[in-house]
Amino acid sequence: MSGRYDRPLTPEKIAAVKDEGIDFSDIPELDEGFWERAELVEPDLTDQITMRVKRSVLAYFKAPGKGYQTRMNRVLESYVRHRTGESADTGKGAGG
């Protein structure tokens, strides 16, 4: 990819953007209808645990680099959804 999107915006760069420099023309207004249909979505909290896993399993998840714990969690979430037929993040069944 080339052009003006090569580098991610930092919080400092975002804060420096003036409202006048933002094109809002394609953003719909948030009218009363929007707020009537809005749903509160609770964050999916995690718990810190200690877990023993085989070295080969840990090496597999660490091999692609940063984010191995997230990858392991996604595999476990997928397992829960498969076993329960429910979303692991709904607070229902074994995933809650």
Q: Give pLDDT, residue 81.
A: 92
For the chain, the 3-state helix, strand and coil shares in percent, each to the nearest 5, are 45, 0, 55
Which amino acid, residue 33?
A: G
61 vs 70: CA distance, rounded Å: 9
pLDDT tens digits for range 35-50 = 999 999 888 889 999 9
Q: What is the mean pLDDT of the chain?
A: 85
Q: Which domain holds residue 48?
A: 11-95
Has residue 2 been placed in a domain? no
Has residue 4 been placed in a domain? no
Q: Is it the case that residue 85 has pLDDT exceeding 90?
A: no
Has residue 35 been placed in a domain? yes
pLDDT tens digits for range 62-75 = 999 999 999 999 99
Has residue 6 been placed in a domain? no
In the chain, the number of structural domains is 1
85 vs 73: CA distance, rounded Å: 17
Q: Is it the case that residue 61 has pLDDT exceeding 90?
A: yes
Has residue 24 been placed in a domain? yes
pTM, 2 dp: 0.49
Q: Give pLDDT, residue 96.
A: 41
